[in-house]
Amino acid sequence: MHLAYPAVLAALLFCVGLYGVLARRNAILVLMSVELMLNAVNLNLVAFDVWLRDALHSGQALTLFTIAIAAAEIGIGLAIVLAVYRNRGSSAVDDLRDTAEGPDDDPDDDPGNAGDSEGAAGEEPAPAKSSQKSQKAEATA
């Protein structure tokens, strides 16, 4: 068997996985795409191990190690995705940028209430964003 056949198949698998990582917005589909990329690497490891006729079969040993690491990665990744989905209600990767609050994100510095600390006559001030987040976190707990 020629080395070109599994190498081309591995390249195609890796390209499909790379496209999935770059183009998908759902975190679970991104994890599946990473798994495709790891399987392409595994296919290359086994193909080169057979082609080189290695007596120690190091390519196959590295493949087993990669499979074990991928299983742990997918378990931890799914746990993180489920935790994010429970807190946010969405598993979209683009929404995850909003989870980190930087030092500039102060709920007291709301631009809508700038210069108006009391609010208009007869209106109650809007609740702070942090209290809404804490109420949502308590409701899900």
What's the pLDDT tens digit per position in 28-51?
999 999 999 999 999 999 999 999
Going by pLDDT thresholds of 50, 70 and 90, the confidence category of residue 52 is very high
Determine what percent of the chain falls in helix, strand and coil, rounding each to the nearest 5: 70, 0, 30
| CA–CA distances in Å: residue 92 to residues 105, 112, 140 | 22, 28, 19
Q: Please answer whether residues 70 and 38 qualify as being in contact, where contact means their C-beta atoms are separated by less than 8 angstroms.
A: yes
The Cα 78–Cα 87 span in angstroms is 14
* 114 pLDDT above the threshold of 60: no
Q: Which residue has the higher pLDDT, 91 or 117?
A: 91
